[in-house]
Structure 1
């Protein structure tokens, strides 16, 4: 089945001066000459991205878009018009965001997190109203389950996140380290599923395993940094958060445990691997 706004494997039916015509259940689709691989011939199968051109005709391209239909992506506004904004998504035809799909008016050259979808005419469009695309009823997640997070909005409580590309969740402000922005991706864990189906997430594993996870992160960061980090229990919470994505309290517990276990050495201004 042909999928508009996604990659498709299609067979070349014929070659012309305009390019290659690809066979599909929707009819022949042109792959323009400038995007056709050299040596392409009838019978070959090619992987192409399918979308509608400016005249709303199906068109194929070998260009790689920055996102497909169903994806969330951070894209830059290329231009504005009386009917909406146009985003740069890596293809000749810019991606349209109607005014009705903008929670706040988009500004030229600024970046926004959007979700790609097909409108009623099967044209690819984008929306910055992220919440409406997230499942709010069927939540097959469990306490403590590791999940992929993407920040999409900030509130007084913390950050609204997309969980596994499907569900809405909340990461509380006390776990926001460094300077995250919409589109920031994180690894997290389900902390609570409330009676109203709202999901709280955390960046820490619960219980003892949470400390182990923090110790592992410190060790991996040390190894990647040549066995030395300019951090100590006197470092600021902001610096610790930016480097290790953990709170100062968790950091102090973890380095204390690593020191007792003989893995690291501590100074007033740094930590380092004992074997370095």
Structure 2
């Protein structure tokens, strides 16, 4: 039976009962649920062969996302620390295991329920079906080229590779690849996690994207900095106050201390939102 499992076969309907048809291929009998369509004895039926949770031979005519020869997306449904993670690839009464042997050594980087894995299926000598995550080369072959006009756009991205150098992701809505440097994230995303990533650069050499999980600089500004920005915008983009101004003048205008004011100015200058000189502070029009 091993060579038939996790593949699409054409089998002969040889018998039936109230709930199922029994179909044969190479002397192996598979059960086909009658809820999937009407057939009669003698018909040839094309479907996906597998073993269910009870290790019974089954055939389904439903569309299955992954097989022995093709990759497809599976959704993580359960995590077992002693075994691996279970993924739903569309098989009735069957979730396929991704073994802990092919998952990250750090269990905190394992996929969680709801995460996405791009897998193909494999069958061992005991007729057990396993799911194998796609290697990087598979994504490189599947993805198309990115473009250099996507700066600051935010897109969902699925983590498919974890390295010390950073996180490799696939953008399903764009069919593109991206890379997240460790400096562009607060924590390392787990395998299969779907993240919202912002485009910060374009790699001409391989036409992939550099991405960030951090907000843009002005989105990280503290309330004091936002208050100063608003003040500048409402005053023609200029104010006579700068980091040399007296604490009294700063307090009178903004109601904050000089230390708070200087910290806010520093953040705005780092974000390239303002510039200052001996005459005051000016808003930079980006």
**TM-score when scaled to structure 1?**
0.48
Q: Which structure would you say has the larger Rg?
A: 2
**TM-score when scaled to structure 2?**
0.46
